[in-house]
Amino acid sequence: MVQEERYMQRCLDLAMLGAGTASPNPMVGAVILHDDLIIGEGYTSPYGGPHAEVNAVKDAYRKLGEAEAKALFRVSTMYVSLEPCSHFGKTPPCADMLVELQFKRLVIGCLDPFAKVNGQGLKKLQQAGIDTTTGVLEDACIFLNRRFFTRIQQQRPYVILKWAQTEDGFFSPEVGAKRWISNKASKQLVHKWRGEEDAILVGTSTALIDNPALTTRLWNGKNPKRILIDKELKVSADAAIFNEEAETIVFNAHQTHWQKNRKLIALEHFDLYLPQQMLYQLYLMDVQSLIVEGGAMTIQSFIDAGLWDEARVFVSQSRWNQGKPAPLLNMIMSTTQKVGSDDLGFYFNGQIV
């Protein structure tokens, strides 16, 4: 069992290399083991490309040659962090390929909740006589793909709340002014996070006061889709949030109009169940994960609706003595870590199962 967990952990480490590019597919890692030697490994390609299992097989072909690799597969074990797919999507079923290559054994981290898979891939392998083991590091495998599981099971994106607050609990100045709370290391980390998620959301006040571009300019990663709540369309078309670096979706009360990277979507009964309406629209647009960055009222609206999964809160050493209060979670922190002089706390809303 220790060996199985060791190689499944390698699958998880590989899978993380697909963060920010695999969506809306899950992040998956695969390792092929023969006589205690890894002869091939891979992870999910950017969306539309080969899955982890295919990339692991191709890696073995490159290392050994196709003929020798195929011969070894028959006496080899493949470790994979998520159940191999059993349906035709952007690519052919991985389960069919594994059956065709006659792998001796498959060790699977967790089953795939997607209705077209969900046990069917495992069933194909077992019917072909392949020895299978499931549930190795299962909790870790599910946690890795908590975005994918949430989208499939709850028909909405996985929602990450992010904010910084002072040591005495303030989010921003009382008057409309821009003032940094977290340090440079924390700011860079936030840009890394942006590259790992599908979209990032702010409200009208944040767009007007901070004029953010919401890009990953401090990190080498893709820019997320930008989501703006702007009921009355107050934010100017020349604001930084509308630059050419990414597309911007504007939820508003008046217009539906798509032009280049600026997409206006009018919501009926705008003030009624706003977080729910936005999340469902984003789900329909294949957005699998969303960072909510501000302002405080916008973040609090997701908290009050119970529509959040994870919160990442920076607490600086500064004290302002006055200002706008930070959002209230009323929840025990799960973990904490130091980012330079800042304390970073992580909170999770319920269990991903």
- The tens digit of pLDDT for each residue in 240-263 reads 999 999 999 999 999 999 988 899
**Domain ranges within the chain, ordered by starting residue:** 3-150, 155-348
- The tens digit of pLDDT for each residue in 103-162 reads 999 999 999 887 666 778 899 999 999 999 999 999 999 999 999 999 999 999 999 999
Q: Is the pTM of this model over 0.85?
A: yes
Tokens of 322: 């006055």
91 appears as a binding residue in the annotation: no
141 appears as a binding residue in the annotation: no
pLDDT class of 353 with cuts at 50, 70, 90? very low
Active site residue 41: no
- The tens digit of pLDDT for each residue in 308-338 reads 999 999 999 999 999 999 999 989 999 999 9
- Among positive and negative, which fits the CA dihedral 87, 78, 97, 23? positive
Q: Please tell me which residue in 53, 83, 197, 310 is annotated as part of the active site.
A: 53
Q: Which of 212, 263, 213, 204 is nearest to 234 (CA)?
A: 204
Q: What is the enclosing helix (H) or strand (E) of 279?
A: helix 274-284
Beta carbons of 130 and 262 less than 8 angstroms apart:
no
300 appears as a binding residue in the annotation: yes
Q: Which CATH architecture has domain 3-150?
A: 3-Layer(aba) Sandwich (3.40)
Cα-based angle 305, 241, 298 (whole degrees, multiple of 5): 15
Q: Which of 138, 170, 185, 191 is nearest to 353 (CA)?
A: 138
pLDDT class of 87 with cuts at 50, 70, 90? low
295 appears as a binding residue in the annotation: yes
Q: Which one of 3.90.226.10, 3.40.430.10, 1.20.120.160, 3.30.470.20 gives the CATH number of domain 155-348?
A: 3.40.430.10
298 appears as a binding residue in the annotation: yes
* Count of helices and strands (H, E) across the chain: 11, 17
Q: Give 139-182 as a DSSP string.
A: HHHHHHTHHHHHHHHHSS-EEEEEEEE-TTSEEE-SSS-----S
